[in-house]
Structure 1
Amino acid sequence: MWTALPVRCPWCDERFEALVDPGEASTEYVEDCPVCCRPISMQLDVEGAEARLRGTRED
């Protein structure tokens, strides 16, 4: 089941929602910002029923 989690772009500082599968284990992946199109290194942390998403610059 996919869930939308809020994240802030570390490049342009805009907020957006990224779709993640919280049924997956904690993982890292790269997603482009839908506003400025720069790559964001995403870290999905899953602990039980809780899922958190962080975005950092990839430079």
Structure 2
Amino acid sequence: MQDTATYPCAYCGELNVTLPDWSAGRRQQYIEDCAVCCQPNVLRVCLNPDLDEVSVVVEPA
């Protein structure tokens, strides 16, 4: 299974890496701070174990 996923910060656009938790269900939502500008990003993560895919939708918190 894919261990990481990247997403652009909703504020500065820099790419960040998140570590999806495959044991937490297919749909997850959590907040992570950007590693560059420290602004909070709301991540909506969808996991597809059948295709070993992770999709991330990000918006400002």
TM-score (norm 2): 0.78
Gaps spanning 5+ residues in structure 1: where? Answer: none
1:18 aligned to 2:36?
A: no
- Structure showing the higher helix proportion among its residues: 2
In the alignment, the residues of structure 2 paired with residue 44 and residue 12 of structure 1 have an alpha-carbon distance, to the nearest angstrom, of 20
Structure 1 segments of 4 or more deviating over 4 A?
none
Sequence identity percentage = 26
Match of 2:35 in 1: 34
In the alignment, the residues of structure 1 paired with residue 23 and residue 56 of structure 2 have an alpha-carbon distance, to the nearest angstrom, of 14
How many correspondences in the alignment?
58
